[in-house]
């Protein structure tokens, strides 16, 4: 799915980034959306800061129940008390398990945030509290699929292409003209 965000960027932003209706009348709102993304947890050090504390941007998270790899990355053993969060013995954690933990954690963090009173209870130093407040109530969708294969990619493409077309119909714009891409090409000649 590494290339999936750029594909959605292309058809969604190109299709619905318009300023006038299909009849040529100016829109009373800004149409289109800005699409971006990263596979795995790569986005944590780029746009997740914006999602959690900056402007409100709806986010989609896509995860798969089955790993594409059976490789175990790390092995956790018992702690000093003889157990690891209720588990006795050793627990193997795969890269897929880590990614899925992130898949479930990020939407929760966006939804619930972290309040000033939470930080006070956690004894966070006062000078850092305002920096660590996360307002929550940030919209996100989670799409959990069985496994990543050609069929699943086709389903995802259908979902996002359908969304783009329906938005265009609702907004009364022609999602299929590309005049905005032509101006740059003409000027480049």
**In whole angstroms, what is the distance from residue 20 CA to residue 26 CA?**
4
Token pair of 51 as six digits: 């999602």
Residue 117: burial class (beta carbons within 10 Å; 0-12, 13-18, 19+): exposed
- CA dist list (Å): 151 to 4, 60, 120, 154, 169: 14, 19, 48, 5, 27
- The Cα diameter of the chain in Å comes to 71
Q: Hey, which residues are catalytic here?
A: 14, 45, 185
């Amino acid at each position: 799915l590494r290339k999936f965000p750029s594909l959605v960027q292309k058809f969604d932003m190109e299709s619905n980034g318009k300023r006038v209706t299909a009849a040529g009348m100016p829109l009373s709102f800004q149409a289109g959306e800005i699409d971006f993304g990263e596979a795995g947890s790569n986005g944590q050090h780029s746009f997740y800061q914006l999602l959690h504390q900056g402007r409100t941007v709806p986010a989609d998270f896509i995860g798969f129940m089955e790993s594409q790899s059976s490789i175990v990355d790390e092995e956790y053993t018992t702690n000093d008390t003889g157990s690891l969060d209720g588990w006795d013995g050793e627990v193997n954690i795969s890269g897929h398990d880590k990614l899925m933990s992130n898949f479930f954690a990020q939407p929760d963090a966006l939804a619930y945030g972290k309040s000033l009173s939470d930080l006070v209870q956690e004894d966070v130093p006062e000078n850092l509290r305002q920096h660590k407040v996360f307002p929550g109530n940030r919209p996100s969708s989670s799409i959990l699929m069985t496994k990543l294969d050609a069929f699943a990619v086709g389903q995802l493409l259908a979902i996002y292409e359908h969304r783009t077309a329906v938005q265009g119909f609702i907004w009364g714009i022609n999602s299929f003209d590309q005049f905005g891409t032509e101006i740059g090409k003409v000027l480049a000649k």
